[in-house]
Amino acid sequence: MRLFVGLGNPGAKYAGNRHNIGFMALDRIAADHGFGPWKKAHQGLACEGRLGLEKVVLLKPETFMNLSGQSVHAAVSFYKLALNEVTVFHDELDLAPGKIRVKTGGGHAGHNGLRSIHQHLGEAYHRVRLGIGHPGHKDAVAPYVLHDFAKADQDWLDDLMRGISDGAEALAAGDSAKFLNAVSLRVAPARNSGTGAETPTEAKPAAKPATPPAPSAPPEAPASPFDRLRGLLRKGD
C-alpha cells in the first residue's frame, strides 16, 4: 500500500495558488485513474484507488500548510505505514517552473509543510518536488507562493500534471526513473527531426564524351605533267 500526499491550503481561495500544486497533482491522478470520491478523513480529504498492482490512498491535508504533519501522521498511523511507503508532492522554489525531481529524505529547506511533516514523522519519506521558480528575493516568497499561477503558466502546468498522471503507476511501484521519463515525454516531447523535404538523389556522373573519330588521311595531290611523263618513261624501260 502507498500513501500519496499533496501539500496545499484548503478552500477555493487558495485552489489556484502556486503553493497548491501538490493538491493539483493528486486531483489529476484521482480523475485520470478512477479513484473513489474524496471523503473527509485524517484531518483532510482522502480517496482510494489502484495504480497498477498497488493500492494507493491520496491525501490532501486540510490543516493548512503549516500543520500538514498532523494530517499525514494521522493517515500513517491509521494505515500502519512505514515512511518509505509515503510520497509527498510539494511546490519547490529552487526548481524552475515545470521542472520535477524525486528525492528521499533530507532537509525541508524552509518549506513549512515539509517542516511540519519532519516534526511529526521524521524525514525518511519520498518527495516529488514540483518546480514553481523563485521570485528573486526571500521577502517576496510568501506573496509569490500564495498567488495564483499566471495565465502564461497554464500550458506547462497542464503538461506537468498530465505527465505526473501518466507516470503515477511507475511511481507507486517504486520506479522513479520510469516516472520521471513519463513526465519528460509530456513536458519536453521528442520532436520529429525530419524537415519534410525529400532526400536529394545522388547526382549521376556526367556521360563521357564520345571519342572523336581519328582524322582521315589527307587526299593525295593530283600528279603534275612532269610526274606523268616520268612514269611513262619508267614503263618503257
Classify residue 221: in a domain, yes or no: no
How far apart (Å, rounded) are the C-alpha atoms in residues 21 and 16? Answer: 8
Q: Say if residues 73 and 121 touch (Cβ distance below 8 Å).
A: yes
Concatenated DSSP letters of 2-31: EEEEE----SGGGTTBGGGHHHHHHHHHHH
Listed in sequence order, the residues at least 6 apart from 50 whose beta carbon sits closer than 8 Å to its beta carbon are 33, 56
The CATH number assigned to the domain holding 163 equals 3.40.50.1470
**Residue range(s) defining the domain that contains residue 60:** 2-187
Cα-based distances in Å from 89 to 81, 83, 125, 207: 17, 14, 11, 70
Q: Which set of grid coordinates corresponds to residue 49?
A: 484507488
Report how far residue 90's alpha carbon sits from residue 51's, in angstroms, rounded to the nearest whole number. Answer: 20
Distances in Å between the Cα of 198 and the Cα atoms of 77, 79, 190, 194 are 64, 61, 21, 10
Does 192 reside within a domain?
no
On whether residue 127 sits in a domain, the answer given is yes
Mean residue pLDDT across the chain? 87
Query: Does residue 52 sit within a domain?
Result: yes
Q: What pLDDT, on a 0 to 100 scale, did the predictor assign at position 107?
A: 94
Is residue 233 a part of any domain in this protein?
no
Which positions are annotated as active-site residues? 19
Per the domain annotation, does 53 fall within a domain? Answer: yes
Domain total of the chain:
1
In a domain, 210, yes or no: no
The pLDDT value recorded for residue 189 is 75
Query: From CA 98, how far away is CA 153, in angstroms rounded?
Result: 9
Q: Does a structural domain hold residue 170?
A: yes
From its phi and psi, is residue 234 left (phi > 0), alpha (psi between -120 and 50) or beta?
A: alpha
User: Residues 75-107: pLDDT tens digits?
Assistant: 999 999 999 999 999 999 999 999 999 999 999
pLDDT at position 232 is 52
Cell 518527495 identifies what position? Answer: 127
Spatial separation of the C-alpha atoms in residues 164 and 7, rounded to whole Å: 15
What's the pLDDT tens digit per position in 151-175?
999 999 999 999 999 999 999 999 9
138: nearest Cα among 93, 172, 71, 184? 93
Q: Which residues of the chain are modeled with pLDDT < 70?
A: 190-237
SS3 92: strand
Contacts of residue 41, Cβ cutoff 8 Å, sequence gap at least 6: 59, 75
Task: List strand residue ranges (DSSP E) for 84-124, in order.
Answer: 86-92, 100-104
Q: Which of 32, 102, 26 is nearest to 59 (CA)?
A: 26
State the pLDDT at residue 188.
Answer: 84
